Structures are given as structure tokens and as C-alpha cells.
């Protein structure tokens, strides 16, 4: 069932308020992260959303912890409103983590969004922590290239940025993660961090993969769990009410 237009307008107004608050927080955090959360979601044909939160050690890159939450999203996919679809499941998954963390990296956009309020902005502002959006596709803004694809000799390679169409403000950086990449990822601050620090933080966690380690692991685990659910190998009750640790089901990472 589609969301009524009047409800969509209300969600857009909520995002405008979120943006107003978040834009004032876009400054360097003042400390280096130690433990970093990655958030990503996949979808089961039977059970709906499969949200995964992982924690990695920022220095070593080791995967320390993960938690899974499943459930039917309360909103269909609407461009620009992803936060209202996926953030509730992410909050549930975060509750299952056994470590405190300093920073969140989220599959999706931060301020590179029509209202400067992507899912990374929603979550970072709600939790009061620095958050960064890392997306595979552009959602909003004008791409400005400073390098051609063939001009990258060292990777990760920043090839340009996304600018606000009205003000020219930089909203995100476009980065080729590795030499095999033919398309960039889009790195934007969500809340409580600035664009330059977001760029440095994410590129330091690109270890030859297309995604930084936090969302690389979250992406891989969420897709694996969704497949197990659809094959009947895993049942929702094994997640203990939406939260669970599934070490014996996990692929080697």
C-alpha cells in the first residue's frame, strides 16, 4: 500500500527540521575514531528487511562484533526518504552490539540529499555521534570532476565532488576505491563531522574493496542472512526477537 501524499509531505517537513539541526554540527569531531560501526540492509523475499550493524577496529580493520534485525519496513522505497524505511531496523540492530563505538558509516547519503538530510544525517543526529554516508549512486547535486578515470595512479583516488546546484557548496566527494573501479562511491558527512574528515576517514578504511570495511562487512552479512532466510536454513526466531548472533551461519570474511 502506497504512502499517502499528505504523509510524504509531513516526512519532508521532518527532514527540513533535521537538516537545520544537522548542518550546524558539521565540524571535525576532535578525536580519532577507535571503534567504527557499519550499517547496511538487504531484503528477504519472505521476511522483509535484514539490517546489520557491525563494529570494526579502526586501526587494525578487524571485525569485532555484529548484530542483526529483521522486519517488514513501514514505508515503501521512496527516493529521498530511505531513512524512514530503514533507520528503525538499524536502531534495533544497534541495540545488539556489545561494544561502545565512536563513529557510524552508513550505506546511503548524508547531506548529499535534496534536503541535506539523508539516512546518515538522520541516524547521526538521533544518536549524537559522527556519521558518514557512503553511497554507490548519486542522489542529488551536480558532479564536478577534477580527474579523469585514467588519471588515477594511486587508489583510493578522489576524482571529483558533488556540488549543491543552487549554492555550489561541496556536498560529497566522489572516490574510485581501487584500480578495478569503473564508478565512484559518494562520501558525504551525515552529522557531527565535516566533509574533509569524512573523506579521510572513509578512504583510510578502503582496503582494496569497493566499500569501506564497515559497510563492506555489513553488506556481505546482510545479503548472506537474507539468502539463508529465503532458503529456510535460518528462521526469524533464531534471531531472538529481532536481535541475534549467528556465528555458525556466517560466511568466512
- The CATH number given to whatever domain includes residue 112 is 3.30.2170.10
What confidence score (pLDDT) does residue 224 get? Answer: 93
Which residues contribute to the annotated binding site?
40, 107
**What sign has the CA pseudo-torsion 252, 200, 173, 50?**
positive
Instruction: Specify whether the CB–CB gap between 38 and 213 falls below 8 A.
Output: yes
Residue 154 belongs to a domain: no
Residue 155 belongs to a domain: no
Which residues contribute to the annotated binding site for Mg(2+)?
40, 107
Residue 47 belongs to a domain: yes
What confidence score (pLDDT) does residue 244 get? Answer: 46
What confidence score (pLDDT) does residue 1 get? Answer: 54
In the sheet with 142-145, reading across from the earlier edge strand, the strands are 63-71, 48-57, 35-44, 103-107, 131-135, 185-191, 170-176, 157-163, 142-145
What's the average pLDDT block by block, 10 residues per block, for the chain (253 residues)? Answer: 78 95 92 96 96 97 93 92 96 94 98 98 98 98 89 91 97 95 95 98 95 97 94 81 51 56
Instruction: Specify whether the CB–CB gap between 154 and 176 falls below 8 A.
Output: no
What confidence score (pLDDT) does residue 153 get? Answer: 86
What confidence score (pLDDT) does residue 204 get? Answer: 97
Is the pTM here over 0.85, yes or no? yes
Number of domains forming the structure of the chain: 1
Rounded Cα distance between 23 and 167, Å, is 15
CA atoms within 13 A on the CB side of 226: 19
Residue 162 belongs to a domain: no
Rounded Cα distance between 204 and 182, Å, is 20
Amino acid at each position: 500500500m502506497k504512502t499517502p501524499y499528505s504523509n510524504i509531505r509531513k516526512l519532508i517537513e521532518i527532514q527540513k527540521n533535521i537538516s537545520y539541526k544537522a548542518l550546524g554540527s558539521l565540524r571535525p569531531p576532535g578525536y580519532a575514531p577507535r571503534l567504527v560501526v557499519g550499517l547496511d540492509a538487504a531484503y528477504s523475499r519472505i521476511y522483509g528487511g535484514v539490517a546489520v550493524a557491525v563494529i570494526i577496529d579502526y586501526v587494525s580493520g578487524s571485525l569485532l562484533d555484529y548484530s542483526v534485525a529483521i522486519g517488514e519496513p513501514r514505508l515503501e522505497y521512496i527516493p529521498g526518504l530511505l531513512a524512514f524505511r530503514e533507520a528503525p531496523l538499524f536502531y534495533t540492530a544497534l541495540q545488539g552490539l556489545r561494544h561502545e563505538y565512536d563513529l557510524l558509516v552508513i550505506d546511503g547519503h548524508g547531506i548529499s540529499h535534496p534536503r541535506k538530510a539523508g539516512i546518515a544525517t538522520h541516524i547521526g543526529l538521533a544518536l549524537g555521534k559522527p556519521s558518514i554516508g557512503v553511497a554507490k549512486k548519486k542522489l542529488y547535486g551536480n558532479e564536478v570532476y577534477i580527474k579523469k578515470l585514467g588519471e588515477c595512479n594511486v587508489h583510493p583516488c578522489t576524482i571529483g565532488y558533488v556540488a549543491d546546484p543552487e549554492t555550489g557548496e561541496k556536498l560529497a566527494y566522489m572516490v574510485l576505491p581501487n584500480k578495478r573501479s569503473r564508478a565512484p562511491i559518494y562520501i558525504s558527512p551525515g552529522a557531527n563531522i565535516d566533509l574533509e574528515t569524512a573523506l579521510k576517514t572513509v578512504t583510510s578504511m578502503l582496503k582494496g574493496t569497493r566499500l569501506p570495511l564497515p559497510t563492506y562487512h555489513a553488506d556481505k552479512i546482510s545479503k548472506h542472512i537474507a539468502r539463508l532466510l529465503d532458503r529456510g536454513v535460518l528462521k526469524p526466531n533464531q534471531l531472538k526477537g529481532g536481535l541475534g548472533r549467528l556465528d555458525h551461519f556466517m560466511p568466512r570474511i
